[in-house]
Amino acid sequence: MGALAVLFVLSLWPLQFFAERYYSQQLAEQNQQTLDLYVATLLGTLRRYEDLPPILSELPLLNATLQRTDDTVLQAKANSRLAEIKQRTGADVIYLMRPDGTTQAASNWDQPDSFVGRNFAFRPYFKDAIQGRPARFFGLGTTSNRRGYYFASEVHGVDRVLGVLVVKLDLEHMEQLWGNTPEQLLVTDANGVAILSSNDVWRFHASRPLSPAKQREIAQNIPYPVLDPKPLRINERSWISLSRELPETGWTVSIYSPRSQVDRPVRSVLLIGGATLLALLLLLALLSISRRHYIERIALEAQAKRQLEMRVLERTQELEDANARLQQEVHDREQAQRELMHAQEEVVQAGKLTALGTMSASISHELNQPLGAIRSYADNARVLLDHQRLDDARGNLEQISSLTERMASIIAHLKAYARGARRAPENVALQPAINDALALVASRRQAMNVELQRDLPDAPLWVQAGETRLRQILANLLSNALDALSEKAPPRRIWLTAEQTTEGVILSLRDNGPGFSAEALAHAREPFFTTKTSAKGLGLGLAICDTLLRALGGRLELGNHPEGGALVQLHLLPGIPGVTPTPQEETRA
- Determine which of 91-105, 177-191, 360-374 has the lowest per-residue pLDDT on average: 360-374
Backbone torsion region of residue 204, taken as left when φ is above 0, otherwise alpha when ψ lies between -120 and 50, otherwise beta: left
- pLDDT number for residue 422: 52
Torsion of the alpha carbons at 449, 455, 457 and 462, rounded to the nearest 10: -70
- For residue 466, the Cα-to-chain-centroid distance in whole angstroms is 54
Element (H, E) at 257: strand 251-258
- 304-323, pLDDT tens digit by residue? 888 888 888 888 888 888 88
Using an 8 Å Cβ cutoff, are 442 and 372 in contact? no
Encode 15-24: b = buried (16+ Cβ within 10 Å), e = exposed.
Answer: bbeebbeebb
| Helix ranges, 441-581 (H) | 442-447, 467-485, 518-523, 541-551
Using an 8 Å Cβ cutoff, are 525 and 480 in contact? no
Phi and psi, residue 71, nearest 5°: -80, 105
- pLDDT number for residue 589: 26
pLDDT of 418 higher than 60: no
pLDDT of 12 higher than 90: no
What is the SS3 assignment for 169-224?
EECHHHHHCCCCCCCEEEEECCCCEEEEECCCCCCCCECCCCCHHHHHHHHHHCCC
Tell me whether the CATH fold assigned to 2-50+175-258 matches the one assigned to 421-588: no
- 370-391, pLDDT tens digit by residue? 787 888 888 888 888 888 888 8
Give me the half-sphere count of Cα atoms (radius 13 Å) on the Cβ side of residue 510.
Answer: 18
d(CA 197, CA 178): 9
Torsion of the alpha carbons at 235, 237, 241 and 246, rounded to the nearest 10: 40
- DSSP 3-state assignment of 540? coil
pLDDT of 437 higher than 80: yes
d(CA 155, CA 163): 5
Query: Which of the listed ranges 15-24, 162-171, 260-269, 458-467 does the model predict with the highest average pLDDT?
Result: 162-171
- pLDDT number for residue 344: 58
Between the CA of residue 186 and those of 24, 43, 136, 182, 493, what are the distances in Å? 20, 15, 20, 13, 84
What percent of the chain stands above pLDDT 90?
10
pLDDT band (50, 70, 90) for residue 163: very high
Tell me 261's DSSP state.
H
pLDDT band (50, 70, 90) for residue 235: confident
pLDDT of 488 higher than 50: yes
d(CA 278, CA 472): 101
- pLDDT number for residue 166: 94
Nearest C-alpha neighbor of 35 from the set 199, 289, 243: 243
Using an 8 Å Cβ cutoff, are 107 and 85 in contact? yes
- pLDDT number for residue 76: 92
119 exposed, middle or buried (CB, 10 Å; 0-12, 13-18, 19+)? middle
pLDDT of 505 higher than 60: yes
Give me the half-sphere count of Cα atoms (radius 13 Å) on the Cβ side of residue 512.
Answer: 13
- pLDDT number for residue 534: 43
- pLDDT number for residue 424: 62
Using an 8 Å Cβ cutoff, are 519 and 535 in contact? no
Phi and psi, residue 97, nearest 5°: -120, 145
Give me the half-sphere count of Cα atoms (radius 13 Å) on the Cβ side of residue 378.
Answer: 10
pLDDT of 173 higher than 90: no
pLDDT of 260 higher than 90: no
Q: Render 110-144 in DSSP notation, one character per residue.
A: TSTT--TT-B-TTSHHHHHHHTTS-EEEEEE-TTT
pLDDT of 362 higher than 80: no
- pLDDT number for residue 495: 94
User: Strand pairing of 555-560 and 492-501?
Assistant: unpaired
pLDDT band (50, 70, 90) for residue 345: low
- pLDDT number for residue 346: 66
The amino acid occupying position 214 is: K
pLDDT of 348 higher than 80: no
- The CATH class that applies to domain 421-588 reads alpha beta
pLDDT of 405 higher than 80: no
pLDDT band (50, 70, 90) for residue 365: low
pLDDT band (50, 70, 90) for residue 47: confident
Between the CA of residue 273 and those of 14, 22, 278, 411, what are the distances in Å? 11, 16, 8, 105
Asked whether the CA dihedral 486, 487, 493, 495 is positive or negative, the reply is: negative
d(CA 583, CA 549): 19
Fold of 2-50+175-258: Beta-Lactamase (3.30.450)
- pLDDT number for residue 351: 40
> For the domain 52-170, what is the CATH code?
3.30.450.20
In the chain, where are the structural domains located? 2-50+175-258, 52-170, 421-588
- How high does pLDDT run on average in the chain? 81
- pLDDT number for residue 357: 52
pLDDT of 402 higher than 80: no
Q: Render 81-115 in DSSP notation, one character per residue.
A: HHHHHHHHHT-SEEEEE-TTSBEEEETTTTSTT--
d(CA 11, CA 278): 10
Element (H, E) at 560: strand 555-560
- 108-133, pLDDT tens digit by residue? 998 888 889 999 888 888 988 898 88
Please state, as a whole number, how many other Cβ atoms lie within 10 Å of the Cβ of residue 42: 20
